[in-house]
């Protein structure tokens, strides 16, 4: 009994989806111009930009010991377990 | 750009014109405006995803322009063997996009099981030379084509080096059958960083091996009263490097010339201006050559 | 060991350590009083270039903790987990786990899941392409056959569940000018991340939709997946789910 009702339900859901589906859905490869977000490529053959000056300093500013100071939008997130802090 | 191949693509060979490093920030401008640029160069490592937008953009742009693949991940100068998987990925990009030129660096980035993703300096010994030659040969055999090798920008030298960089560089190409990608900015940066003589450096370079030229900007920093030039590709080409380039193409002849701009990336028109400047110098030398032939 | 191998390993040790580079390494460099600074250029490049790749992968984490803290975290991560791939496309696969180990971040319990979402987004961006399931592939099947079908989800599709409202946190932090208050009391969320075509989609889904897709990914037939889903979420509406997603690229050609 259970089996019949499952296959009937599934068949109903798919038949509805088929009825609603537009004819000739465009394929990914057909799209001409917009290919979505152009995410920056990360590999290149340049040295570290700008901040290289930090690299030429004689002492390494950031050794093993470091202290995190959080100064971001995390201040805008409240409630939940944070209230217990 | 006018002549299309049967595949509906721009021809493969990279013309003796000025080209630009292709940045994702400029994809849309390139597709919409179809700028009059001879060719584009890409780093294949940025297109080694399984799919997605980057490959689609490249497919589209390749329809209109020849491209060159400038690899940064092969680590030719590493004591470790070449990575088979990386070579396969490189080969499949070569097969798919039919680049006019393929190049790599005189450098290494693989010392342990991890990668530096920055080009590290080589010790110029006979041992490194043999490693370099062997690796170039393996890549060329795998890709079934010649590759070009680029001279590096460097900031330090090793005591153990047995020969000048330019001797090592040219010898690596000669023994392996590779060509040379001469980065004029790198010649300037390395020579000034190490106090080498630029003319001595260039005098080693055999004209017939030159397949491509690179130009880019670098930054200048003062370290304890000394000047160190950093090859950050983040500014226009400086006047000294333009002069060096002009002298270089007058003496050695013309080759496809690339403007690289990888950090502080400008709006597309500013990059185009740099490309036009290189193109003007190419045109001027080409004209002189024609005149010499006619009157000569 | 050959000189080349010795030198390259020693160079890599020097790049990676947070301490001063080894004296033996500096001994191998030509000494013009600047050897240490010259080597420092490479150390810096290694940290900055790979750290920039992380900043690019995790812009929301960066906004949440601030630029300076992010730079410190990135530097520590690069040293602890230097890139294992030939490309930087998916560098940062262990960053979410790494954040969990940092005591100063214990007050931001949602941060790890936000990092996971950002990594998942980029993984979907670079995932393999696939042709969407087309209506005509199902047209001639009998009713009985439908329930026995195994649907293939798009290769980019990934599921992500969090005890925190990470979708809201992620959405409002897409630009720098975020000043909305978000309460963690908004609670858990379940997400499907998928790139049916060119655009990566992050969809907030019900418990049932999440479970149904999880079952399909574990190779259940539609019928099996539906029955299992009904156990966890009797409200699950298969008709509505298929009407929206059966042919929109969530599933690919069989």
Give residue A23's pLDDT: 60
Please tell me which of the candidates C44, C199, C241 has its beta carbon nearest to residue A55. Answer: C44
For residue B244, pLDDT beyond 50: yes
For residue A30, pLDDT beyond 60: no
For residue B62, pLDDT beyond 80: yes
Cα–Cα distance measured from residue B276 to residue B253, given in angstroms and rounded to the nearest whole number? 18
Please tell me which of the candidates C9, C30, C128 has its beta carbon nearest to residue B112. Answer: C9
Q: How many CB pairs under 8 A join A and C?
A: 212
Give residue B90's pLDDT: 98
Chain B window 10-39: which residues touch A at a Cβ cutoff of 8 Å? 21, 23-25, 27-28, 31
Residues in B touching A52 (Cβ below 8 Å): 219, 221, 230, 232
Better pLDDT: B242 or B295: B242
CA geometry: angle C47, C48, C50, nearest 5 deg:
70
Residues in B touching C22 (Cβ below 8 Å): none
Residues B157-179: tens digit of each pLDDT = 999 999 999 999 999 999 999 99
* Shortest distance, CA C80 to any CA of chain B (angstroms): 11
**Helix then strand then coil, % of chain B, to nearest 5:** 45, 20, 35
For residue C184, pLDDT beyond 80: yes
Closest CA to B53 of B74, B81, B31: B31
Better pLDDT: B273 or C23: B273
Q: Which residue of B has its CA nearest to A33?
A: B31
Residues in C touching B111 (Cβ below 8 Å): 8-9, 11-12
Residues C51-83: tens digit of each pLDDT = 999 999 999 999 999 999 999 999 999 999 999
* Percent of chain B surpassing pLDDT 70: 97
In a domain, B11, yes or no: no
B263 in reach of chain A (CB within 8 A): yes
Contact predicate B219/B227, CB 8 Å: no
Answer yes or no: do A10 and C72 touch at CB < 8 A: no
Better pLDDT: A64 or B26: B26
Residues A51-66: tens digit of each pLDDT = 444 433 334 445 556 6
CB-based contacts of B2, cutoff 8 Å, min separation 6: none
Answer yes or no: do C104 and A78 touch at CB < 8 A: no
Q: Which residue of B has its CA nearest to A49?
A: B232
* Shortest distance, CA A49 to any CA of chain B (angstroms): 5
Residues B117-149: tens digit of each pLDDT = 999 999 999 999 999 999 999 999 999 999 999
In a domain, B10, yes or no: no
Give which of C5, C6, C7, C8 to mutate to test B binding, by max B Cβ within 10 Å.
C8
Contact predicate B84/C226, CB 8 Å: no
Cα–Cα distance measured from residue A7 to residue C61, given in angstroms and rounded to the nearest whole number? 45
Q: Considering chain C, what is the average pLDDT of its residues? A: 94
Give residue B285's pLDDT: 96
Contact predicate C210/C159, CB 8 Å: yes
* Percent of chain C surpassing pLDDT 70: 100
In a domain, B290, yes or no: yes
For residue A9, pLDDT beyond 90: yes
Confidence of residue B296 (pLDDT cuts 50, 70, 90): low
Q: Report domain extents, chain A.
A: 3-76
Give residue A59's pLDDT: 42
Please tell me which of the candidates C42, C73, C242 has its beta carbon nearest to residue A14. Answer: C242
Give residue A33's pLDDT: 54
Confidence of residue A44 (pLDDT cuts 50, 70, 90): confident
Residues in B touching A56 (Cβ below 8 Å): 221, 223, 228, 230
Give residue C194's pLDDT: 97
Neighbours of B146 (CB within 10 A): 17
For residue B59, pLDDT beyond 70: yes
Closest CA to B38 of B68, B59, B60, B9: B68
Question: Which tokens sit at B205?
Answer: 């370079």
Mean pLDDT, range C225-231, rounded to an integer: 96
Contact predicate C116/C176, CB 8 Å: no
Give residue C166's pLDDT: 98
Residues in B touching C89 (Cβ below 8 Å): 45-46, 48-49
Answer yes or no: do B53 and A48 touch at CB < 8 A: no
Question: Which tokens sit at B36?
Answer: 């009059």
CA geometry: angle C59, C63, C69, nearest 5 deg:
100
Q: Which residue of B has its CA nearest to C87?
A: B45
Answer yes or no: do B264 and A33 touch at CB < 8 A: no
Confidence of residue C210 (pLDDT cuts 50, 70, 90): very high
Give residue B4's pLDDT: 52
Structural domain that includes position B203: 18-295
Answer yes or no: do A36 and C200 touch at CB < 8 A: yes
Give residue A65's pLDDT: 60
Give residue A63's pLDDT: 52
Give residue B5's pLDDT: 56
Answer yes or no: do B232 and A53 touch at CB < 8 A: no
Q: How many structural domains does chain B have?
A: 1
B94 in reach of chain A (CB within 8 A): no
What's the distance, Cα to Cα, between the start and end of chain A in Å?
54
Residues in B touching A53 (Cβ below 8 Å): 221
CATH of the domain at B150: 3.20.20.150
SS (HEC) of C8-50 = HHHHHHHHHCCCCCCHHHHHCECCCCCHHHHHHHHHHHHHHHH
SS (HEC) of B47-60 = HCCCCCHHHHHHHH
Rg of chain C taking only CA atoms, in angstroms = 24
């Amino acid at each position: 009994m259970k089996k019949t009702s499952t296959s009937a339900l599934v068949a109903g859901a798919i038949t509805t989806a088929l009825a609603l589906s537009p004819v000739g859905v465009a394929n990914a490869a057909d799209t001409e111009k917009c290919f979505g977000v152009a995410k920056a490529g990360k590999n290149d053959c340049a040295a570290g930009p700008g901040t290289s000056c930090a690299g030429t300093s004689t002492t390494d500013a950031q050794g093993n010991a470091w202290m995190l100071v959080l100064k971001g939008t995390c201040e805008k997130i409240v409630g939940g377990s944070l209230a217990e802090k | 750009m006018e002549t299309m191949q049967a595949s509906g693509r721009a021809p493969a060979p990279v013309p003796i014109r000025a080209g630009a490093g292709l940045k994702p920030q400029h994809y849309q401008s390139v597709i919409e405006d179809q700028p009059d640029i001879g060719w584009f160069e890409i780093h294949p490592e940025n297109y080694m995803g399984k799919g997605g937008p980057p490959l689609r953009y490249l497919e589209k742009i390749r329809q209109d322009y020849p491209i060159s693949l400038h690899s940064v991940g092969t680590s030719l100068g590493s004591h470790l063997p070449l990575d088979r998987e990386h070579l396969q990925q490189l080969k499949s990009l070569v097969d798919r996009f039919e680049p006019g030129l393929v190049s790599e660096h005189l450098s290494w980035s693989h010392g342990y099981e991890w990668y530096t993703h920055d080009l590290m300096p080589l010790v110029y010994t006979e041992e490194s030379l043999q490693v370099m030659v062997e690796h170039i040969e393996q890549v060329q055999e795998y890709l079934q084509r010649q590759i070009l090798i680029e001279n590096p920008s460097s900031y330090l030298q090793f005591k153990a080096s047995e020969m000048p960089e330019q001797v090592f560089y040219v010898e690596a190409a000669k023994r392996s059958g590779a060509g040379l990608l001469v980065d004029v900015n790198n010649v300037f940066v390395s020579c000034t960083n190490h106090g080498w003589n630029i003319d001595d450096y260039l005098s080693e370079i055999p004209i017939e091996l030159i397949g491509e030229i690179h130009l880019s900007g670098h930054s200048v920093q003062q370290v304890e009263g000394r000047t160190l030039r950093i090859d950050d590709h983040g500014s226009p080409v400086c006047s000294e490097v333009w002069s060096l380039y002009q002298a270089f193409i007058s003496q050695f002849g013309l080759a496809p010339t690339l403007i690289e701009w990888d950090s502080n990336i400008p709006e597309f028109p500013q990059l185009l201006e740099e490309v036009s400047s290189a193109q003007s110098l190419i045109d001027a030398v080409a004209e002189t050559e024609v005149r010499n032939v006619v009157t000569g | 060991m050959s000189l080349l191998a010795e030198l390259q390993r020693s160079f890599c040790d020097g790049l990676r350590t947070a301490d001063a580079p080894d004296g033996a390494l500096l001994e191998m460099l030509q000494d013009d009083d600047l050897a240490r600074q010259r080597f420092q250029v490479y150390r810096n490049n290694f940290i900055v270039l790979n750290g920039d790749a992380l900043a690019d992968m995790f812009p929301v984490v960066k906004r949440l903790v601030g630029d300076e803290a992010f730079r410190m975290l990135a530097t520590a991560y690069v040293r602890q987990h230097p890139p294992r791939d030939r490309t930087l496309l998916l560098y940062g696969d262990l960053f979410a786990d790494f954040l969990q180990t940092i005591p100063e971040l214990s007050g931001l319990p949602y941060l790890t899941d936000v990092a996971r979402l950002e990594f998942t987004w980029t993984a979907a961006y670079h995932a393999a392409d696939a042709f969407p399931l087309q209506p005509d592939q199902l047209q001639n099947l009998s009713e009985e056959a439908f329930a026995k079908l195994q649907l293939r989800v798009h290769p980019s599709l990934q599921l992500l569940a969090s005890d925190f409202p990470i979708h809201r946190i992620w959405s409002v932090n897409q630009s720098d000018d975020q000043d909305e208050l978000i309460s963690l009391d908004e609670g858990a969320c379940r997400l499907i991340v998928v790139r049916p075509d060119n655009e990566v989609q992050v969809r907030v889904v019900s418990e049932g939709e999440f479970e149904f897709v999880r079952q399909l990914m574990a190779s259940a037939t539609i019928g099996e997946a539906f029955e299992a889903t009904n156990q966890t979420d009797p409200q699950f509406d298969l008709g509505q789910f298929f009407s929206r997603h059966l042919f929109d690229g969530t599933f690919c050609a069989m």
